[in-house]
Amino acid sequence: MTHPLVPPFTEETARAKVRMAEDGWNSRDPERVALVYTPDSLWRNRAEFPRGRDEIIAFLRRKWSHEIEYRLIKELWAHDGNRIAVRFAYEWHDDSGNWFRSYGNENWMFDDAGLMERRFASINDMPISAEARKFFWPLGRRPDDHPGLSELGL
């Protein structure tokens, strides 16, 4: 990486920022994930509006206690200045073993230090069979050789 991951983003730094976000969320570690947001970060995630790191941590704890075996892939959609837009999909199952693929888009805005000030997410869940799953890797970071969304036809 030749540039720090702070605005204004280049194609290279925006792609790296997206991959770092994916890696963080795939860790399923709410405290780790919350550190990349400003202390007063504002979110819209479906019908919830967490504000600040404490609410983000509580939100992520609830999310990952419900979304079991969560695996996420993010892909850069666009970037400009201090903003990045991504599309994503993740697979998970509930406590009854029902599988889902959740699709969505996020709009991100960063402060000068590269911390995310705003995160607006729109997400839809689609029930899938276990046989329809596409995200196969051990829990945690997606391996570099695992296909991304475009390669998977998503």
Average pLDDT for residues 134-139, to the nearest whole number? 96
pLDDT band at 3 (very low <50, low <70, confident <90, very high): low
Asked if residue 39 has a cis previous peptide bond (ω within 30° of 0), the answer is: no
Q: Where are the domains of the chain?
A: 11-132
**What was the pLDDT predicted at 1?**
46
**What was the pLDDT predicted at 21?**
97
Left (φ > 0), alpha (ψ -120 to 50) or beta: where does 128 sit?
beta
Pick one of 1.10.1740.10, 3.10.450.50, 1.20.1730.10, 1.10.3720.10 as the CATH number of 11-132: 3.10.450.50
Average pLDDT for residues 80-106, to the nearest whole number? 98
Place of tokens 């839809």: 124
pLDDT band at 100 (very low <50, low <70, confident <90, very high): very high
Q: pLDDT tens digits, residue range 35-53?
A: 999 999 999 999 999 999 9
Contacts of 95 (CB under 8 A, 6+ apart): 66, 68
Q: What is the pTM of this model?
A: 0.95
**What was the pLDDT predicted at 17?**
97
pLDDT(125) > 90: yes
